[in-house]
Amino acid sequence: MMEVMDILRKYSEIADERIRESISDITPDTLLRASEHLITAGGKKIRPSLALLSSEAVGGDPGDAAGVAAAIELIHTFSLIHDDIMDDDEIRRGEPAVHVLWGEPMAILAGDVLFSKAFEAVIRNGDSEMVKEALAVVVDSCVKVCEGQALDMGFEERLDVTEEEYMEMIYKKTAALIAAATKAGAIMGGGSPQEIAALEDYGRCIGLAFQIHDDYLDVVSDEESLGKPVGSDIAEGKMTLMVVKALERASEKDRERLISILGSGDEKLVAEAIEIFERYGATEYAHAVALDHVRMAKERLEVLEESDAREALAMIADFVLEREH
Amino acid sequence: MMEVMDILRKYSEIADERIRESISDITPDTLLRASEHLITAGGKKIRPSLALLSSEAVGGDPGDAAGVAAAIELIHTFSLIHDDIMDDDEIRRGEPAVHVLWGEPMAILAGDVLFSKAFEAVIRNGDSEMVKEALAVVVDSCVKVCEGQALDMGFEERLDVTEEEYMEMIYKKTAALIAAATKAGAIMGGGSPQEIAALEDYGRCIGLAFQIHDDYLDVVSDEESLGKPVGSDIAEGKMTLMVVKALERASEKDRERLISILGSGDEKLVAEAIEIFERYGATEYAHAVALDHVRMAKERLEVLEESDAREALAMIADFVLEREH
């Protein structure tokens, strides 16, 4: 795991430099500070590293995908800023959210300007045909991120969400941008259609595993690792694979009880909801689905020739489920 | 003027079709409806028509710039949706604003998805080299739109804004997107560097005239034409060229009085502020600056060969100051 962190650190530096170049000329100063707040606050930078490694894994130079890598991280940051406004979340990456520090109007603008800068980063250099192709991938993922967030918002009012609908939602909300990182990275590295498709699948699979594991940690981890109370998703009424499965499998009585707890905001009832998840194997089921997606992700890497970059991508796939927060 | 309306109607249909194609596949349904609300609500569609006419004016087909035209209108709509949230404006194009009907979170997302769709529209077809060049122009204008809005927000707390700073703000907030329409339209039409530069200047000049005239109408028009009370910009404390000039030229006493009225929200005091504008020739000055920019815009068209499209662009420049709302 230490090794994965080292890889992420090394690769993300290439993207960080491009991001810094890209946003440093934003004016006025207030907008610049609001825009760079979450970027300087850190994060694991998995997404940009995946873009760079995907370029390298198809025989390109990591630097060929530097613009794409920067763009993906900028889009991720833009979506975090807007999501925090929508969900009224006040803490992000251990810092107050952008809208808490600068107010909602400036936070909306900071997101918008980072979104613009993302496209600027993609088109800044490289072969025009490749850039156009990579850009189409990135833009498509942006549409999906918005659609996924809208689906997620709609799910909070529904109790009949199917596993398929849930998987579509997290694909759009989380996995599509990760798949765009690996796919567009492979395009910029000059990958073959087969390599590009394999890396897109790899990205989608680890993206899905990532989100399911995130939801899973909310019930199996502890407050210290999470940095927030255990089961806060349950208290907030967030739709997760465990909720979908438990609602599908539970007895009438347990189902009614679970429904009354979801979104109640009452953290004392959370333990009872987690018990219901366990009773019907929902927690275990979610973990198995995440594991399965990591396995599929690694399988798809076999299309590529052996290389350090391919090895690193396989390690990152495992790392997705080793995270404790 | 009737003729200009006919031209705008004819040309904007080409862009409308592309916009409809572009957004029709947005899901879920709530996000689609929130996204298309302002688009179906109408608007004069000056921006997309300018892109199409610019392509034609350099010898291209208007359709060559259809993607750019659709993108510019989508970006304009996205910025209106987000601006209405930021300024808490409840009416737009005679309809309730998007955030009024669907709530802020969905309105933020609707803006974001239209923004994504704008880039999709640009890259969908055309020669890769031209698309990349046009896209750089469009992206650059998006950054400026955000920066202009941030500058405008900052100006509300300042009383020492210079004319130069004011012009920079409205260039970024309003004129940059119009200049992007004409410049990117000319690029897609295969214009020469001289033609592209002339059309960019034309767009910037009419954009500046457009914004100054908008502010001017707020004090010289009537409530019926405006659809809102006369002088509402004054009551809201909005920075305009008239405010800049009056604060620069007024006696200590009139200056103090004007400052106490600006942003007071008191519509009864508005008439007094307008008197102060008149006393120091600030209203007349603003109108003269707008006229001058229309003149410069038309002058720049002389670089182009004579054509119906060039004629239409000249008419649109005059139309900018004939608007009464």
> A268-311, pLDDT tens digit by residue?
899 999 999 999 999 999 999 999 999 999 999 999 999 999 99
Q: Please name the member of B128, B142, B150 whose beta carbon is closest to the beta carbon of A106.
A: B150
Query: Residue A146 and residue B31: Cβ atoms within 8 Å?
Result: yes
Closest C-alpha to B81, from B70, B103, B97: B97
Query: Residue B26 and residue A135: Cβ atoms within 8 Å?
Result: no
Which residues of chain B approach chain A closer than 8 Å at the C-beta?
Answer: 26-28, 30-31, 82, 85-87, 104-106, 108-109, 111-113, 115-117, 119-120, 123, 128-129, 131-132, 135-136, 139-140, 142-143, 145-147, 149-151, 153-154
pLDDT of residue A1: 56
Query: Residue A132 and residue B132: Cβ atoms within 8 Å?
Result: yes
Query: Residue A135 and residue B115: Cβ atoms within 8 Å?
Result: no
How high does pLDDT run on average in chain A? 95
pLDDT of residue B220: 94
Whole-angstrom Cα distance, residue A114 to residue A74?
6
Share of chain A above pLDDT 90, in %: 85
State the pLDDT confidence band at B2, using cuts at 50, 70 and 90: low
Structure token pair of residue B241: 């060229």
pLDDT tens digit string along A206-233?
Answer: 999 999 999 999 999 988 888 788 998 9
Which run of H or E residues covers position B312?
Answer: helix B308-319
Complete domains list, chain B, with CATH: 2-319 (1.10.600.10)
pLDDT of residue B1: 56
Work out whether strand B95-96 and strand B91-92 pair parallel, antiparallel, or are unpaired: antiparallel
Whole-angstrom Cα distance, residue B6 to residue B21?
23
User: What is the mean predicted confidence (pLDDT) over B196-225?
Assistant: 95
CA distance B151 to chain A (A): 6
For B68-105, give one letter per residue: b (16+ CB within 10 A) or e. Answer: bbbbbbbbbbbbbbbbbbbeeeeebbeeebbbbebebb
Query: Which residues of chain B does A128 touch, with a Cβ-Cβ cutoff of 8 Å?
Result: 128-129, 131-132
Structure token pair of residue A273: 């909801």
Query: Residue B108 and residue A108: Cβ atoms within 8 Å?
Result: yes
Could you report the predicted ipTM of this complex, rounded to two decimals? 0.94
CA distance A136 to chain B (A): 7
Q: Are B51 and B182 contacting, i.e. CB atoms less than 8 angstroms apart?
A: yes
Query: Which residues of chain A does B109 touch, with a Cβ-Cβ cutoff of 8 Å?
Result: 82, 86, 146, 149-150
Q: Determine the residue type at B309.
A: A
Whole-angstrom Cα distance, residue B48 to residue A299?
48
Residue whose entry in the numeric block shows the structure tokens 């709302």: B325
User: What is the mean predicted confidence (pLDDT) over A105-119?
Assistant: 97
Q: Give Dmax (Cα) for chain A.
A: 61
Question: With 70 as the cut, is the pLDDT of residue B249 above it?
Answer: yes
Q: Please name the member of B117, B140, B147 whose beta carbon is closest to the beta carbon of A31.
A: B147
Q: Are B85 and B219 contacting, i.e. CB atoms less than 8 angstroms apart?
A: no
Whole-angstrom Cα distance, residue A113 to residue A35?
8
pLDDT of residue B268: 87
CA distance A247 to chain B (A): 23
Question: With 90 as the cut, is the pLDDT of residue A317 above it?
Answer: yes
pLDDT of residue B225: 84
Q: Please name the member of A120, A132, A153 whose beta carbon is closest to the beta carbon of B105.
A: A153
pLDDT of residue B228: 81
Structure token pair of residue A5: 């962190």
A105: nearest CA partner in chain B: B86
CA distance B19 to chain A (A): 15
Query: Which residues of chain B does A21 touch, with a Cβ-Cβ cutoff of 8 Å?
Result: none
Query: Which residues of chain B does A86 touch, with a Cβ-Cβ cutoff of 8 Å?
Result: 104-105, 108-109
Question: With 70 as the cut, is the pLDDT of residue A7 above it?
Answer: yes
Please, which residues have CB within 8 angstroms of residue B197's CB and are 6 or more apart in sequence?
Answer: none
If you ran DSSP here, which 8-state letter would residue B64 be given?
G
Please, which residues have CB within 8 angstroms of residue A192's CB and are 6 or more apart in sequence?
Answer: A58
A137: nearest CA partner in chain B: B120
State the pLDDT confidence band at B254, using cuts at 50, 70 and 90: very high
CA distance B109 to chain A (A): 6
Question: With 90 as the cut, is the pLDDT of residue B317 above it?
Answer: yes
Question: With 80 as the cut, is the pLDDT of residue B125 above it?
Answer: no
pLDDT tens digit string along B126-142?
Answer: 788 899 999 999 999 99
Whole-angstrom Cα distance, residue A253 to residue A86?
33
User: What is the mean predicted confidence (pLDDT) over A104-117?
Assistant: 98
Please, which residues have CB within 8 angstroms of residue A319's CB and are 6 or more apart in sequence?
Answer: A1, A4
pLDDT of residue A225: 84
Whole-angstrom Cα distance, residue B254 to residue A88?
44
Q: Which of B29, B31, B99 to mutate to test the interface with A (most CBs of A within 10 A)?
A: B31
Question: With 80 as the cut, is the pLDDT of residue B6 above it?
Answer: yes
Query: Which residues of chain B does A27 touch, with a Cβ-Cβ cutoff of 8 Å?
Result: 147, 151
Closest C-alpha to A180, from A227, A231, A142: A142
pLDDT of residue A10: 92
Q: Which residue has the higher pLDDT, A324 or A180?
A: A180
pLDDT tens digit string along A149-161?
Answer: 999 999 988 999 9
Query: Which residues of chain B does A123 touch, with a Cβ-Cβ cutoff of 8 Å?
Result: 132, 135-136, 139
Q: Decide: helix, strand or coil at residue B92.
A: strand
State the pLDDT confidence band at B42, using cuts at 50, 70 and 90: confident
Q: Decide: helix, strand or coil at residue A91.
A: strand
Query: Residue B104 and residue A86: Cβ atoms within 8 Å?
Result: yes
Query: Residue B135 and residue A119: Cβ atoms within 8 Å?
Result: yes
Question: With 90 as the cut, is the pLDDT of residue B104 above it?
Answer: yes
User: What is the mean predicted confidence (pLDDT) over B248-252?
Assistant: 97
pLDDT of residue A42: 81
Query: Residue B82 and residue A108: Cβ atoms within 8 Å?
Result: yes
Range with top average pLDDT, A123-127, B45-49, B153-157: B45-49
Q: Report in angstroms the alpha-carbon separations of A143 from A132, B71, B115, B218.
A: 17, 14, 9, 37
pLDDT of residue B93: 87
Query: Residue B120 and residue A112: Cβ atoms within 8 Å?
Result: no
For A246-277, give the DSSP string: HHHHS-HHHHHHHHHHTT---TTSHHHHHHHH
Which residues face B92 on adjacent strands? B95
What phi-psi label fits residue B89: left (phi over 0), alpha (psi between -120 and 50 degrees) or beta? beta
Q: Which long-range contacts (CB under 8 A, 24 or more apart) does B135-140 make?
A: B135/A119, B135/A123, B135/A135, B135/B184, B136/A120, B136/A123, B137/B180, B137/B183, B137/B184, B137/B187, B138/B68, B138/B71, B138/B72, B138/B75, B138/B180, B138/B184, B139/A116, B139/A119, B139/A120, B139/A123, B140/A120, B140/B176, B140/B180
Query: Residue A151 and residue B26: Cβ atoms within 8 Å?
Result: no
Query: Which residues of chain A does B128 touch, with a Cβ-Cβ cutoff of 8 Å?
Result: 128-129, 131-132
For B180-196, give one letter per residue: b (16+ CB within 10 A) or e. Answer: bbbbbbbbbbbbeeebb
CA distance A124 to chain B (A): 8
Query: Residue B135 and residue A139: Cβ atoms within 8 Å?
Result: no
